Amino acid sequence: MRRLALTFSLLIAAITLFSQNQPEFRAVWIATVDNIDWPTKGNYNSDSQKQEFIRILDMHQRNGINAVIAQIRPATDAFYPSPYEPWSEWLTGKQGTPPVPYYDPLQFMIEETHKRGMEFHAWCNPYRAVFDLVKSTIAPTHITRIHPEWFLNYGDKKYFDPGNKDAQQFVVKVIRDVVSRYAVDAIHFDDYFYPYRIAGKEFPDTVALFAVWKWFNKRRLAKK
């Protein structure tokens, strides 16, 4: 019993020492959708955007923040040169239009964040495709125009159908591209769930749910 108590005490001491040596995770979200945090709405000049982001980083550094979670894919668009998705309208004012003067915002954000000894976490919205069906600019190369059958309208937005296998693989491909080309410290998914329910209106995913049910039932019967 004494040996067990000693072992337990040593274990608690080791855990305490380990936790004391680990830096506390103090992070902030930097939202780009609808220009909530960055860049300021109407600020489409690359040099001005850079200075604005640097000011945000410096402020958070002074406040003791050691990680930023920056939104790089708010609506199936990109804050970086993507082979799969168009430039974000919240970066340049019109979806599909590259920044002027040209730069890679994601690479810039990562470098400036790491210079300050902070982690850079890439925040992606996997299912939201069109933020506002009335107001959003949609580029000809946007995946909703190429594969409209992958998407569902709900309220004033358009979403990937989460049960569509092709849509799933497309999202995976986009994320793999980011982690293969950029030194991000983590990937965060937000709005990875179904949309918030609109009173009296169901999300129109019946076809996909039925397909998933058939697949599951087929596997279940095969195991018997």
3-state secondary structure of 36: coil
Tokens for 188? 């965060």
> Rounded mean pLDDT of 105-109?
98
What whole-number distance in Å separates Cα of residue 71 and Cα of residue 128?
13
The distance of Cα 108 from the centroid of its chain, to the nearest Å, equals: 17
> How much is the average pLDDT of 195-202?
82
What local confidence, expressed as pLDDT, does residue 22 receive? 61
pLDDT at 194: 65
**Contact at 8 Å (CB) between 118 and 65?**
yes
Confidence tier at 18 by pLDDT (50, 70, 90) = very low
Average pLDDT, the chain: 87
Residues above pLDDT 70, as percent of the chain: 80
Rounded CA-CA distance 54/51 in Å is 5
Chain mean position to CA 213: 28
129-171, pLDDT tens digit by residue?
Answer: 999 999 999 999 999 999 999 999 999 999 999 889 999 999 9
User: How far is residue 44 from each of residues 6, 21, 31, 40, 102, measured CA to CA in Å?
Assistant: 63, 42, 16, 8, 11
* DSSP, res 177: H
Domain layout of the chain by residue ranges: 23-217
- CATH of region 23-217: 3.20.20.80
